[in-house]
Amino acid sequence: METAPRFRSAGGVSAMEEAQRRALRRGRPRVVAELRVEPLWGLLEERGLFTRSMIEDLQSAGSRAEQARQLLIDLETRGKQAFPLFLSILRDTEQCNLADVLLEASEHPPAVAPSRLQDLKPLQLELPGEKHKKALNSLERLSIPVQAESDRPQTVPSRGLAADRRSHDLVYEVRGDPCGYCLILNNVTFSQGSGLTTRKGSDVDCQKLEKRFKALCFQVLTRWDLTAQEIVLELQELAQRDHSALDCCVVVILSHGCQTSHIQFPGGIYGTDGKPIPIEKIVNYFNGSQCPSLRGKPKLFFIQACGGEERDRGFVVDCDSPPDKAPGGSLESDATPFQAPPGNMDELDAVASLPTPSDILVSYSTFPGFVSWREVSSGSWYVETLDSVLEQYACSEDLLNMLLRVAHIVSAKGTFKQIPGCFNFLRKKFFFMSK
């Protein structure tokens, strides 16, 4: 399925105005959910918005929702008159409510946050002599706030630059608000018979990630203290939702973990009843055959759990690492001994439903087989660092680059060492949105 505009504007046709493009993007979730596409095809061709071959291409996009989504994306390429013509077609096909949604979105652009304007300072121009004074006087008379280079946030590019990066052929399209679901599974308290300890500090992780992913335009769903079966049901329920109007999906799991037998993705996580679930089983609920409405869209998994019992003391290098306290007191791990799943639980399902993975990234808090450290007061090293990196760089860097930063920072902590890593099957760069 195409996820970027495929048609260029015809020669001599002026480009669609930015307010109109923004309206199509802001209104996309509502329009994709409700648009009746069948009555549109004849009128779209009759009024010159699309050729017959273009319409046939749109009709082959998949389900009704997928056709509607691709129609809105391609509409942005059809020139300045495309937006009003599309509104008139909506009204002619008795879909006036959707026309009103788009018209209102085009007439009411998002407001600029006042706090951002207050941060701007007059530019200290480095011009010689009188020319310097005249330039400064001109700026003062015009009351133009100009931001000096030294005052600019170095990690946040202009929206124009960010938009340019996101329009590239090798960049996933992430434009909707919300752009997708973010399911957070936070297991803190485990049953007495499980033999697993309470994960103190995990609520700190959960609160940070809830706030962070809401700021990144996700609809956050949080679930606490679930058994293995309840976790499976939550994952299946999310995979069965209609993601056609959305751009991606995120699953975050905070729990005890262990080694498990696997084919693709190592490791497993525990339900509160002490029963393990292989990571690859979790991932494959969202593959192309199990979750058709996420085909071609990025599925991101963040796993804060131990990969085993090994404790890494690291090795000596010829450079200084930031000092950090040794494990002890409030420092805990999420490790449990390796346990093969009882009988053939999970294995047959995982083997039978494993297509070649695509558009999937699984980020692990630690290397397979090793423990993952968590502070009682400040949460886990991995989540604390991930949250900080997302806050600083999500507006300017792609996900893989940010995960390199996370690995670099976490690897320098503590007497015992920890190195996050990921299994990456994305086909393009992924940039988050931000409000």
Asked if residue 176 and residue 66 are part of one domain, the reply reads no
The pLDDT tens digits for 98-111 are 999 899 888 876 55
286 inside domain: yes
Helices (H), 14-125: 18-26, 28-34, 41-46, 52-59, 64-75, 82-92, 96-107, 114-118
Task: Give residue 350's pLDDT band: very low, low, confident or very high (50, 70, 90).
Answer: very low
User: Which residue, of 80, 107, 134, is where some domain finishes?
Assistant: 107
Residue 317: predicted pLDDT: 39
CATH code for the domain in which residue 55 is found: 1.10.533.10
Asked if residue 361 and residue 277 are part of one domain, the reply reads yes
Asked if residue 314 and residue 199 are part of one domain, the reply reads yes
Indicate left, alpha or beta for 328 from its phi (over 0: left) and psi (-120 to 50: alpha). Answer: left
Q: Which residues are catalytic?
A: 256, 306
149 inside domain: no
Task: Give residue 188's pLDDT band: very low, low, confident or very high (50, 70, 90).
Answer: very high
Cα pseudo-dihedral 238, 244, 245, 247, rounded to 10: 80
Q: Is the model more confident about 372 or about 123?
A: 372
Instruction: State the average pLDDT over residues 140-167.
Output: 43
386 inside domain: yes
Asked if residue 311 and residue 192 are part of one domain, the reply reads yes
Asked if residue 316 and residue 218 are part of one domain, the reply reads yes
251 inside domain: yes
10 inside domain: no
Mean pLDDT of the chain: 77
The pLDDT tens digits for 356-380 are 468 999 999 987 656 667 677 778 8
Asked if residue 282 and residue 193 are part of one domain, the reply reads yes
pTM of the model as a whole = 0.60
432 inside domain: no
130 inside domain: no
The pLDDT tens digits for 238-270 are 999 999 999 999 999 999 998 888 788 999 999
Q: Is the model more confident about 262 or about 145?
A: 262
User: Which residue, of 62, 77, 107, is where some domain finishes?
Assistant: 107
Asked if residue 172 and residue 96 are part of one domain, the reply reads no
Say if residues 342 and 169 touch (Cβ distance below 8 Å). no
HSE, CB side, 13 Å, CA atoms: give it for residue 103. 13
- The amino acid occupying position 218 is F
Task: Give residue 185's pLDDT band: very low, low, confident or very high (50, 70, 90).
Answer: very high
Q: Could you tell me the residue range of the domain that residue 350 belongs to? A: 165-425
Asked if residue 359 and residue 211 are part of one domain, the reply reads yes
Helix axes 64-75, 18-26, angle to 10 degrees: 170
Say if residues 25 and 75 touch (Cβ distance below 8 Å). no
Per DSSP bridges, beta strands 360-364 and 379-380 are: unpaired
Report the C-alpha gap between 284 and 264 in whole angstroms: 10
Q: Given the structure tokens 């199509």, which residue do they identify?
A: 24
Domain count for the chain: 2
Q: Given the structure tokens 């026309």, which residue do they identify?
A: 99
129 inside domain: no
pLDDT above 50: residue 158 = no
Report the C-alpha gap between 306 and 334 in whole angstroms: 5
Asked if residue 204 and residue 82 are part of one domain, the reply reads no
Asked if residue 174 and residue 64 are part of one domain, the reply reads no
Asked if residue 87 and residue 203 are part of one domain, the reply reads no
The three-point CA angle 399-405-406 to 5° equals: 85
